[in-house]
Structure 1
Amino acid sequence: MKKTKPVADGFREGRGYTRTDWNEVGDNPEMSEAEIAELRPFREVYPDIAEAIDRKLGRPKAESPKKAISIRLDQEVIDRFKATGDGWQSRMNEALRKAVGL
């Protein structure tokens, strides 16, 4: 299979369009200052869609979120927890909770 190098204008053969198609599609015209001034944020224009996206993305907020810290531990301790597989950090957190009586 012969690889084609992209031409300086971005056209590449074998992508489902012809050179004629490529040339007929012009770049978007630049916006005027007046048009730019009229732009509004997506959330303002489509609040319902933005809210629906927010609900679908990520986990729900935790009642007591975890806090990232830096701590130095013995390599053997880390290795032992990692050897238990995925979720080792949560198991380490649980072990620490037990150690402090929570």
Structure 2
Amino acid sequence: MIRPTPEEDAEITAAALSDPDNPPLTDEDWARMRPAREVMPPSFFEPVTAPPRRFFMAEIELDVAEHFKKEAGDDWQARINDVLREAIARKEAAE
């Protein structure tokens, strides 16, 4: 880690103090601080169990997309994922 020089630190501090959108915390602000576990719902601290989603582009014929939009409405992309997973499971079961 490269630490700023005292001059750079002073310049950074002056810029931060002059930012009207981010005023420094007062002693009263610090006195009102509470641990996150006291103010956030317990679900906030539960581990994320779903795998992270990764996106990519795929060409889907218009008639196929329209079918899923008509069938599933706003969840049409999730429905396509479900159908593809079902096809994968059937293929793996047949092997």
What's the TM-score once normalised by structure 2's chain length?
A: 0.46
What's the TM-score once normalised by structure 1's chain length?
A: 0.43
Structure with the larger helix share: 2
